[in-house]
Amino acid sequence: MTPAHTAVAGEFHGKKSTTATPVANGRRTGVQQEAPTPADKQPMYADRVKIYPRRIQGTFRRVKWAALWVLLGLYYIGPWLRWDRGPGAPDQALLIDMAGPRAYFFGIEIWPQEVYYLTGLLIFGAIGLFLATAWFGRVWCGFTCPQTVWTDLFMWVERKIEGDRNARMRLDKGPMTGDKAVKKAATHVAWLLIAFATGGAWILYFGDAPTLVREFFTGQASLSVYGFTALFTGTTYLLAGWAREQVCIYMCPWPRFQAAMFDEHSLIVTYEEWRGEPRGGARKDQSFEDRGHCVDCGMCWQVCPTGVDIRKGQQMACIGCALCVDACNSVMPKFGLPPNLITYDSISNQAARARGEPTRYRFFRPRTIAYMVLLAAVAAVMAFSLATRTRLEVNILHDRSPLFVQLSGGGIRNGYTFKILNMAREEKTYALTTAGIPNAELTVIGVQNDPAPNVELEVRPDDIGSFRVFVTAPRESVPAAANDIEFVLTDTYTGETATNATVFSAPGR
């Protein structure tokens, strides 16, 4: 064993002194007396306090359930939707075919080089998120974020098996009994099953769903299918089962800057302090003269999935799910008090109520109008580009060695690698010709041996045709070292034309 030695400055002793007793020489003694003992050491991080959200019923809870079932439904049904694309093409409506390689979204087919549509989609999503936040606060976090949805589902399972808040707290505090072991095991098994269904469904978006499911359970699927299913199962179990609010508070970047999307008209979950304070316990039929309406029942923070006490004001950990609104509204009537002490409303309305003025919700504000315009612009650009995009793409690569060849007849010839991407589902015949150089003639290896002004090229459906194209031009047609030339490709059936400019090299003068 080789212990490491860490030298630190201890107390100053006399030069030759070996005594362990500190020398009381004024300055140092002071330090000695204030020095913390190991028992005083402060931990750097606070331990996680486990949260036991209480069950609650109410308007927002119903909305949350609805969102949960709709979103989970979409997620699980998504891969099973069919979309007929004709023979030889996958008939799955939503499919990211890695081997293909291309992505299918109903009638839209995206090739890898068109991946900028994904960028457009992400921009669209981001602006949509900003707009929703400007209108309704953290409605994304509270109702539709996958972390929220799956955590909610996991909590529901937990509650079904282990009971509500108090029962769960008792269970966790109590000793390990057979009953506790069974309940805990059942919870985790249920969680893992849901996580597996989640991870498994994710894989289905990357292959033909019925085939994949059959292969998966007969052991014929590829290692990557099993690997990714395991990965997504594990992360779902970990994030929704264990990490929960910690994802929102520590891992997610969105809470950190979503406040910038708010203004005083955004609907957010807040506590009406002017009305609630001073708070205190209350009996039934008690007079609420000279005191606030908050009866300090604690329901608002007990139902909170992130353990927030909203009465302390807006805070990062609040995901805006409004369950505390439901909780408070379930208590207020018992005391004959008006609802919405905790309210899902804008700051300006809250202030208006405090002043006794009428409230109104401003849907159109400079901020939301700007977001809407941006959103519409992105959507329009995307739609336009999707509607007008060509299913024919051409790549031309000019030979670099040799740049040109002088032929025995005196002509100059350039070689090109000409690639035609036929993204359509039928075989195409294209007529290729050139423009810009008089009397240029074409030969194509394996297709046309004798030079001619035109050549017909056939490309199989959904494929890339690669051709070695030689262009021969008379010496006098190409006076410069680099001459402009255009390849004009015409679909002989539809008449669709693609023109691509490139260069024709010659000796020059």
What's the closest the beta carbon of residue 468 comes to other proteins, in angstroms?
6
Residue 18 interacts with other proteins (CB under 8 A): yes or no: yes
What's the closest the beta carbon of residue 32 comes to other proteins, in angstroms?
7
Residue 30 interacts with other proteins (CB under 8 A): yes or no: no
CB atoms within 10 A of CB 70: 12
Amino acid at 374: L
Looking from the CA of 347 toward its CB, the CA atoms found within 13 Å total: 9
Residue ranges in 380-399 that form contacts with other proteins under rule CB under 8 A: 399
* In the block, residue with structure tokens 């195409």: 428
Among 38, 107, 219, 358, binds other proteins (CB under 8 A): 38
Stretch that binds other proteins, among 9-17, 73-81, 253-261, 281-289 (CB under 8 A): 9-17
Among 112, 223, 408, 450, binds other proteins (CB under 8 A): 408
Residue 114 interacts with other proteins (CB under 8 A): yes or no: no
Amino acid at 295: V
Q: Which is nearer to other proteins, 11 or 263 (CB)?
A: 11
Total residues at the site for other proteins (CB under 8 A)?
A: 39
Residue 27 interacts with other proteins (CB under 8 A): yes or no: no
Residue 10 interacts with other proteins (CB under 8 A): yes or no: yes
What's the closest the beta carbon of residue 324 comes to other proteins, in angstroms?
44
Residue ranges in 428-487 that form contacts with other proteins under rule CB under 8 A: 445-446, 468, 470
Euclidean distance between CA atoms 491 and 270, whole angstroms: 63
Residue ranges in 412-431 that form contacts with other proteins under rule CB under 8 A: 413, 415
Q: Which is nearer to other proteins, 1 or 99 (CB)?
A: 1
Residues whose CB is less than 8 angstroms from the CB of residue 70 and which lie 6 or more positions away in sequence, other chains included: none
Q: Which is nearer to other proteins, 175 or 446 (CB)?
A: 446
DSSP 312: G
What's the closest the beta carbon of residue 455 comes to other proteins, in angstroms?
15
Run of H or E residues at 378:
helix 366-388
What's the closest the beta carbon of residue 498 comes to other proteins, in angstroms?
24
Run of H or E residues at 109:
strand 108-110
Euclidean distance between CA atoms 257 and 272, whole angstroms: 24
List the x/- string, 282-301, binding to other proteins by CB under 8 A: --------------------
Residues whose CB is less than 8 angstroms from the CB of residue 442 and which lie 6 or more positions away in sequence, other chains included: 432, 433, 434, 448, 451, 452, 453, 454, 455, 469, 470, 471, 472
Euclidean distance between CA atoms 199 and 398, whole angstroms: 47
Residue 354 interacts with other proteins (CB under 8 A): yes or no: no
What's the closest the beta carbon of residue 30 comes to other proteins, in angstroms?
14
What's the closest the beta carbon of residue 161 comes to other proteins, in angstroms?
37
Q: Which is nearer to other proteins, 6 or 218 (CB)?
A: 6
Among 29, 32, 315, 417, binds other proteins (CB under 8 A): 32
Residues whose CB is less than 8 angstroms from the CB of residue 312 and which lie 6 or more positions away in sequence, other chains included: none
C-beta of residue 328 within 8 angstroms of C-beta of residue 299: yes
Q: Mind spelling out the 3-state secondary structure of 476-505?
A: HHCCCCEEEEEEEEEECCCCCEEEEEEEEE
Residue 147's DSSP bridge partners are: none
Smallest Cα–Cα separation from 90: which of 206, 201, 208?
Answer: 208
Residue 15 interacts with other proteins (CB under 8 A): yes or no: yes
Q: Which is nearer to other proteins, 20 or 260 (CB)?
A: 20
Residue 26 interacts with other proteins (CB under 8 A): yes or no: no
What's the closest the beta carbon of residue 465 comes to other proteins, in angstroms?
12
Q: Which is nearer to other proteins, 264 or 427 (CB)?
A: 427
462: left (phi over 0), alpha (psi -120 to 50) or beta: left
Residue 409 interacts with other proteins (CB under 8 A): yes or no: yes
Run of H or E residues at 123:
helix 116-136
Residue 24 interacts with other proteins (CB under 8 A): yes or no: no
Q: Which is nearer to other proteins, 399 or 496 (CB)?
A: 399
What's the closest the beta carbon of residue 470 comes to other proteins, in angstroms?
5
Residue 42 interacts with other proteins (CB under 8 A): yes or no: no
What's the closest the beta carbon of residue 129 comes to other proteins, in angstroms?
43
Euclidean distance between CA atoms 152 and 160, whole angstroms: 12
What's the closest the beta carbon of residue 16 comes to other proteins, in angstroms?
10
Euclidean distance between CA atoms 85 and 77, whole angstroms: 19
For 340-495, list the strands marked E by DSSP: 342-345, 392-398, 405-406, 412-422, 428-435, 441-444, 448-452, 455-459, 463-473, 482-491
Residue 5 interacts with other proteins (CB under 8 A): yes or no: yes
Residue 401 interacts with other proteins (CB under 8 A): yes or no: yes
Among 112, 175, 278, 410, binds other proteins (CB under 8 A): 410
Interface residues toward other proteins, by CB under 8 A: 1-15, 17-18, 20, 32, 35-38, 399-402, 405-410, 413, 415, 445-446, 468, 470
